[in-house]
Amino acid sequence: MDELTHLDKNGRIAMVDVSGKNLSRRFARATGRIRLRPETTAMITAGTVAKGNVVATAELAGIQAAKKTAELIPLCHTLPLENILVRVELDDSGASVAAEARCTGKTGVEMEALVAVSTALLTIYDMCKAVDKTMDITDIRLEKKTKEDV
């Protein structure tokens, strides 16, 4: 079993020291889902949700959140994000969110992708909570991460 990397030799919280690592190209893709009533999905598609454009707002919220990951997750490193892409796709039973993050850095961007997905889903929830009491956020997961030498 791997050791926990956020604890020092005395069991105290510690940020991982990446100062000696080489830069590499990093990529991560995360996904998640929110179940919605068909009527709610229809309202989103028609643009009749009172709070505004749900898809555009959720995608923008995910982008903004990815850029704030190090402020939200205490032991995450601040990364020079080069790209964050967030997409919301609607279907009859709800919405799927996918986020991709890229940077050239010393540590991975999986937390940024996961925070983007989570925030986009929470934004959909917030914008639709007045019309749908059955919403269910589910299946948030890291799908892929890569590291390539520079």
Q: Is 139 a catalytic residue?
A: no
Cα–Cα distances (Å) from 51 to 22, 55, 80, 97, 137, in that order, read: 45, 11, 32, 19, 19
**Active site residue: 8, 17, 91, 126, which one?**
126
CA angle 141, 142, 147 (to 5 degrees): 175
Q: Are 56 and 64 in contact (CB under 8 A)?
A: no
Residue positions annotated with a catalytic role: 126
